[in-house]
A and B are shown apart, each in its own frame.
Chain A
């Protein structure tokens, strides 16, 4: 079945810097790749997603890139702010497209 690896597990940046989180997946049939942000005490919330027929997608300060050949995708956050501090999860469609398989998460800390 699908396996999703996420790196790094923790990331500390200064306010205003960029942050990059990378994920790899194993199932070449996966075609949907969302990113979720989880703040303390809350459930994960979708922040951006990309389908396999698109190489890059951007929404204000966040962007996601997908390399289907290499089977990896990345989240880019520019001009980081303290409120970006959270746990970020990548995911890929698995089990023949019936469920999301999540990475283990990246704890992002943005210091001012």
Chain B
């Protein structure tokens, strides 16, 4: 089975801190995605990557950046965390473009 592992299930950070959310997949997938999930808003795409060192902005990239130095790892970076970035963050990967995304269990980030 494909496994997408997010480094932390729960994370509490302070306003202004630099935050790293890590995601690792074990199936040699080319494509990786970061979504943010908020009640009543569904899943919103932050960034995605179709290759190592490649990144594309999604619908809500402001305040975030990403890093993909290795194929299996896709990191989401909050340069200066703010309270409105308190949310559930979901990482996903896929072998074939948009088909069959495999999601991690999510990281619930609280910014105080």
A-side interface residues toward B, CB under 8 Å? 1, 6, 9, 32, 34, 36, 41-46, 49, 89, 93, 95, 97-105
Contact = CB atoms under 8 A, between A and B. Distances in A.
Contacts of B92: 43
B21 interface: no
Contacts, number: 62
B1 to A, nearest CB: 11
Interface string B24-43: 00000000010100001111
A81 to B, nearest CB: 23
A106 to B, nearest CB: 10
Contact of B43 (A42, A45, A89, A98): A89
Contact of B45 (A34, A41, A101): A101
A35 to B, nearest CB: 12
Contacts of A43: 4, 90, 92, 103-106
A100 B48 CA distance: 10
Centre residue among B90, B97, B98 by max chain A CB count within 10 A: B98
A101 B97 contact: no
